[in-house]
Amino acid sequence: MTFVADENVDVPIIQALRAAGHTVIHMSEVDPSVPDEIVLETANRDGALLVTGDTDFGELVFRQGKVSGGVILVRLAGLSARTKAAVVVSAITEHGQEMGGRFTVVGPGGVRIRRMTRL
């Protein structure tokens, strides 16, 4: 799978996704501090799922109706970076085929996947 990772995604998550055979464009390597709209446009252009820790992307896709090929919001505060990476890779391995065009939250309680319909 192909992912665009927002600059706030921990480097061990990026490394673990790459080690699992995924293509990951990490925005901090490409264009640090780029606005969220550009990050979302990059993911859309590349046909990639967006991985982020920023809840602002929920605002963009739900309230503003921005088109998205899928967003994975990582909400794993308090866990080590290594544990976060393992949880994210596991969630993608188990649910990756369901994540396209959906808003997914990966949290300590599990994975929630919902359709992106405008509120």
C-alpha to C-alpha distances, 73 to 56, 59, 114, 118, nearest whole angstrom: 10, 12, 12, 17
33: CATH: 3.40.50
Q: In what order do the strands lie in the sheet with 49-52?
A: 23-26, 2-5, 49-52, 71-74, 102-107, 110-115
> Are the beta carbons of 105 and 75 closer than 8 angstroms?
yes
Provide the mean pLDDT of the chain.
93
pLDDT of residue 117: 64
Structural domain count, the chain: 1
pLDDT tens digits for range 17-72? 999 999 999 999 998 889 999 999 999 999 999 999 999 998 898 888 887 889 99
Kindly state the greatest CA–CA separation across the chain: 37
**Residue 90's domain spans which residues?**
2-115
Residue 26 CB burial class (10 angstroms; 0-12, 13-18, ≥19): buried
Residue 119 pLDDT grade (very low, low, confident, very high; cuts 50, 70, 90)? very low
- pTM summary value: 0.93
Amino acid at 31: D
Strand partners, 23: 2
- High-pLDDT (> 70) share of the chain, %: 97
